[in-house]
Amino acid sequence: MQKKIFVSDILDNAAGVSGKNEPFILEDIRQHMTKQGKPYYRLVLRDKTGTIVAQIWQDYFPFCSLATLQKGDVVQVDFVSESYNDQKTLTIRALAKAEEYNLSDLVASTNKNIDLLYTKLLNYIEAFSNKDLKKLLKDIFTDKQIAEEFRTMPAGERVHHDYIGGLLEHTLEVVEIALGILKHYPEADRDIVVSGALLHDIGKIYDYEFKNFSFRRSKKGYLIGHIVLAVELVNSFLPKDFDEELKLQLIHIILSHHHELEYGAVVRPATIEAAIVAMADYASSQVRQFQKAIVSNKPDDLGFGEYHKILRTKVYFPKGIEKTSSSANEPKKDAAVSSDTLKILKD
């Protein structure tokens, strides 16, 4: 079933948008009562462009298959959009479980070519002058299982790069930002910086899992966390004769890349290479949140968006900035997911 109307289309247009047999992921469903004592259902529907609240009023109950619905089901709905308190909602007129749908319509993915991104990653490793680091990084990133997971996983659940390919995209951003910083600090070892940047979040391949058409924190993610998982992974690939000093510097970058203890770092950066990677990681995550806010919010009459809990500020929209948002890195409705990636997720 080819999806024609996305959540972003509904939010970007005036009330009155209607759809028929449109597939969405059912993120939540609960029964409520109106002030008049009549039952109705409140739903949260999602596709790869966002989420939207929907209602099923009592008059439409006969046209909706509600008895066996569960969170995470893919449903096809007939709807019309409405506006209430300046918020877009859907009134559902018919609903049933979807038998056919395109997963790439429902799950957000990077706009970039994942194959090209991964080739770029491998090329960074190939350029190393340190033979031991080159072998270690090649062994890790050419491992079939690791490569599949690293190409697929997000870098976060909600905050930044939270989509298929997000981990790979974020990692390359960190490498490129770190290389920009490195130009000004010749004392730092380039191979150690790039190695640390490539490995800093590799534990996230175990930190998340794909369930009910979305990424969520795994049991290992909750109980161990991606930093320790990354150290365990790197240690499992280290040969017995690997230089101990080089190992310490590499592991230190992973342990300290969140910079501050209150932000999750095990230790604060104590080497110039660790400081560069930590700052590059911070820049990638923070600036992406600003970009995401620009794309997903609309400014008020003073030019400010809604208060951002993580950035702890209202993002300001300078005049003309909305014109550039169409070229942002955030996933768009026409971003495709490769068949290989879909197979990995389904498996």
43 in Cβ contact with 56 (< 8 Å): yes
For residue 295, tell me if it sits in a domain. no
Q: Is residue 330 part of a domain?
A: no
Same domain? 67 vs 121 = no
Answer with the one of 75, 105, 135 that is the final residue of a domain. Answer: 105
Which among 264, 204, 273 is positioned nearest to 233, based on CA atoms? 204
Question: What is the pairing mode between strands 18-33 and 50-56?
Answer: unpaired
Domain extent for 223 = 107-289
Q: How many domains does the chain have?
A: 2
- Claim to verify: residue 70 and residue 116 sit in the same structural domain: no
Task: List Cβ neighbours of 272 (8 Å cut-off, separation of 6 or more).
Answer: 185, 187, 188
Whichever domain contains 119, its CATH number is: 1.10.3210
Is the same domain home to 156 and 98? no
Q: Which residues contact 34 (CB under 8 A, 6 or more apart)?
A: 40
Instruction: Tell whether 130 and 211 lie within a shared domain.
Output: yes
- Whether the Cβ atoms of residue 55 and residue 16 lie closer than 8 Å to each other: no
pLDDT at 323 (0 to 100):
42
182 inside domain: yes
Check whether residue 97 and residue 125 sit in a common domain.
Answer: no
The whole-angstrom separation of Cα 96 and Cα 261 is: 48
Q: Which of 62, 85, 105 is the last residue of a domain?
A: 105
Distance between CA 254 and CA 234 in Å, rounded? 10
**Which positions ≥6 away from 133 have C-beta within 8 Å?**
191, 192, 195, 246, 250
The 3 state secondary structure assigned to the chain is: CCCCCCHHHHHHCCCCCEEEEEEEEEEEEEEEECCCCCEEEEEEEEECCEEEEEEECHHHHHHECCCCCCCCCEEEEEEEEEEECCEEEEEEEEEEECCCCCHHHHCCECCCCHHHHHHHHHHHHHCCCCHHHHHHHHHHHCCHHHHHHHHHCCCCCCCCCCCECHHHHHHHHHHHHHHHHHCCCCCCCHHHHHHHHHHCCCCHHHHEEEECCEEEECHHHHHCCHHHHHHHHHHHHCCCCCCHHHHHHHHHHHHHCCCCHHHCCCCCCCCHHHHHHHHHHHHHHHHHHHHHHHHHCCCCCCCEEEEECCCCEEEECCCCHHHHHHHCCCCCCCCCCCHHHHHHHHC
* 19: its two tokens: 């759809």
Determine the pLDDT at residue 11: 85
Same domain (yes/no): 137, 243: yes
Residues 201-240 pLDDT 10s: 999 999 998 877 778 888 999 999 999 999 999 999 999 9
Q: Are residues 130 and 101 in the same domain?
A: no
Q: Is residue 313 part of a domain?
A: no
**Is 51 a member of any domain?**
yes
Distance CA 7, CA 238 (A): 46
Instruction: Say whether both 166 and 32 belong to one domain.
Output: no
**Do residues 285 and 262 share a domain?**
yes
Sign of torsion over alpha carbons 103, 294, 201, 222: negative
- Same domain as 132, residue 98: no
Residues 84 and 119 occupy one common structural domain: no
The rounded distance, in Å, linking the Cα atoms of 230 and 233 is: 5
* Segments of the chain scoring below 70 in pLDDT: 1, 158-159, 296-297, 320-347
Domain boundary among 84, 105, 126: 105
Tell whether 247 is covered by a domain.
Answer: yes
Distance between CA atoms of 72 and 273, rounded to whole angstroms?
43
Per-residue confidence (pLDDT) for residue 143, from 0 to 100: 96
